[in-house]
């Protein structure tokens, strides 16, 4: 991560440096902006990355119980890759 003072920062320099890592822009030694490179991301990914609703869904999902691969295969066994109604309710 690079830090650059506002008095020395240009948009071109910040964008160039942000392609390699985060850039913190400071004013009088205190952070005032963070510049992130987003090359390789599309607009939808950028919107999701800053969406409170999306991250709330992720947090909720992470609190849910997960299945081991063995358990998943057991539930899928004999169903041609589709979960049975009983397995889906668990």
If we measure between CA atoms, which residue out of 51, 52, 35 comes closest to residue 43? 51
12: pLDDT strictly greater than 70 = yes
Confidence of residue 89 (pLDDT cuts 50, 70, 90): low
Alpha-carbon gap, residue 71 to 9, rounded angstroms: 55
Domain limits of the chain? 1-41, 60-89
5 forms beta bridges with 26
Report how far residue 10's alpha carbon sits from residue 52's, in angstroms, rounded to the nearest whole number: 31
Predicted structure pTM score:
0.56
The mean pLDDT of 82-90, rounded to a whole number, is: 59
- Which CATH fold topology does 1-41 show? YefM-like fold (3.40.1620)
Alpha carbons 62 and 59: distance in angstroms, whole number: 5
Pairing of strands 30-35, 2-5: unpaired
For 18-71, the pLDDT digits (tens) are 999 999 999 999 999 999 999 999 999 999 988 999 999 999 999 999 889 998
Q: How much is the pLDDT for 76?
A: 86
């Amino acid at each position: 991560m690079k830090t650059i003072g506002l008095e020395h920062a240009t948009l071109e320099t910040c964008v160039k440096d942000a392609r390699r890592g985060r850039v913190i822009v400071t004013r009088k030694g205190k952070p005032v902006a963070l510049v992130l490179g987003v090359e390789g991301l599309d607009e939808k990914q950028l919107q999701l990355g800053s969406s409170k609703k999306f991250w709330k869904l992720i947090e909720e999902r992470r609190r849910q119980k997960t299945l081991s691969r063995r358990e998943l295969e057991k539930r899928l066994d004999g169903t041609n890759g589709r979960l049975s109604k009983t397995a889906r309710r668990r």
